Structure 1
Amino acid sequence: MERRLIPVKLDSYKPLREIVFESLREAIINGTLKPGERLMEIQLAEEMGVSRTPVREAIRKLELEGFVVMVPRKGAYVAGISLKDIADVFEVRAALESLAAGLAAERITEEELEALERSLVKVAESTEADDLTSLISADTDFHDILYRASRNERLVQIVSNLREQIQRFRMTSLSHPGRMRVALEEHRKIVEAISERNVELAQQLAREHIENAENTMLNMMRKMEEEGAKG
């Protein structure tokens, strides 16, 4: 059997199921496990040096986050991503993010602005440590604070409905070399515009931030397609 996954390394403060989940998620993000590929519990367990139980639990969690789809009577498969999927999700997200940033510039409280600044520090720390998992968490918190500061419950609800797709694309985009630092600078500019109550600039910067993430995703997808064609 060809081994593609690295055996898990035990971490004293993380449950085994979480380590397995993060390993499989990373394998999907970096293309080791490709869209449309069937996930065989026994094979994955053997490659990672664990039992089937944490693998099964990880696959369930990956399904909840949109990385895996379950096909009745066939099993689990890596969820596919098409260029149309990317364009559709980012088109909606760019509009929502721009609206949220503009509303936040008008309505954000001092406490929320402080939370946004603290979140920015966490993003910076994760970027410096080159810790993708921590960065994803910090980046998600940053945007969640922004949505809440908009004071628009419908907007928050719509974003929540897109959470799974957004999360996968966020992980894929931020895993691209150099994107972490660029995103950090984009976040800083957005926070500055909001703190200055500059509605139009906040809207513009937020839209550009999402469009840049989309372009990163599209470039990665095209590169993967080219490499697949060569292979």
Structure 2
Amino acid sequence: MTNHFEVNMDEYLPLRDVVFKTLRQAILKGELEPGERLMEIQLAERLGVSRTPIREAIRKLELEGLVLMIPRKGAEVAKISESNLRDVLEVRRSLEELAIDLACQRITAEELESLNKAEVDFKAAIGNGDAMQIAQTDEQFHEIIYNSTKNQKLVQILNNLREQMYRYRLEYIKDADKRQILMVEHEHILKALTLRHIQEAKMAVREHIDNQEITILKNLKEQENDIQRKVPGRRN
């Protein structure tokens, strides 16, 4: 088990939430690797807490799809699977198209100003090259669009889906070659929203999500091929 992460106490958060955020970030950053077992005792010792907040955090991570509970084996970090990726992106594609349609009709001048500011922050994050910061500013950009729909039920559903999307979003952003494309996609979405061109905005969102799916699937296949080449006795 990795020793590269530690719990960062926050006086405003309950201990269980601090532990959850710590383990979640460790999984998203790859410090806890796919397939790695999550041993409650070891994690509790590593983070200097009791087993109870560890157990609670693992349950929440399972709900997010970041952890799997294996019968007679226990918890382990979930692998990114092609089927799960497709399932999540199919839902996201439909919901994002609905959101961008409503946003084109309802977004205010103040929200457009906030969206422009979020895009500036996103570009700055890409310039810094920090994947976590890029993912966070990408989320902020989309969150402004969601809120501009003025449909709280849609916002709630998209926010729930966002938790499942975060790992895939980070996997996409890790591919440095795609970051400039991602920035251009944001610009297309922003321009269409500003002009309130619904069809152009929906097309920009579809392209944004399609490119994400293509890139992540390509990376997954490359990772799988690398693993297969490392299997003893396998001929290439």
- Normalising TM by the smaller chain, what interval? 0.7 to 0.9
Q: Is the 8 A contact 2:116 2:190 kept in 1?
A: yes
| Aligned match of 1:102 | 101
Structure 1 unaligned runs (5+)?
Answer: none
| Aligned match of 1:22 | 25
Q: CA deviation at 1:206?
A: 0.8
Q: CA deviation at 1:62?
A: 4.3
Q: Is the 8 A contact 1:169 1:217 kept in 2?
A: yes
Amino acid at match of 1:115: S
Of 4, 8, 19 in structure 2, the residue corresponding to residue 7 of structure 1 is 4
Distance 1:171 1:141 in 2: 14
Identity %: 39
Report 1 or 2 for greater relative contact order, CA contacts < 8 Å, sequence distance ≥ 6: 1
Amino acid at match of 2:30: A
- Residues 212 and 39 of structure 1: is their aligned pair in 2 closer, same or farther, counting only changes over 3 Å? same
Amino acid at match of 2:120: V
Q: Is the 8 A contact 1:127 1:135 kept in 2?
A: yes
Distance 1:138 1:201 in 2: 23
Q: State the TM-score, normalized to the length of structure 1.
A: 0.79
Q: Is the 8 A contact 2:28 2:170 kept in 1?
A: no
SS in structure 1 at match of 2:176: coil
Q: CA deviation at 1:102?
A: 2.2
CA distances 1:107-165 after superposition (whole Å, capped 9, x unpaired): 10011111111111111111111111222211111111111112333322332332322
Amino acid at match of 1:151: K
Distance 2:106 2:213 in 1: 28
> Do residues 176 (structure 1) and 175 (structure 2) align?
yes
Structure 2 unaligned runs (5+)?
Answer: 231-236
CA distances 1:84-117 after superposition (whole Å, capped 9, x unpaired): 2111211221122122112211210011111111
Q: State the TM-score, normalized to the length of structure 2.
A: 0.78
| Root-mean-square deviation over aligned CA pairs | 3.2
Distance 1:146 1:210 in 2: 15
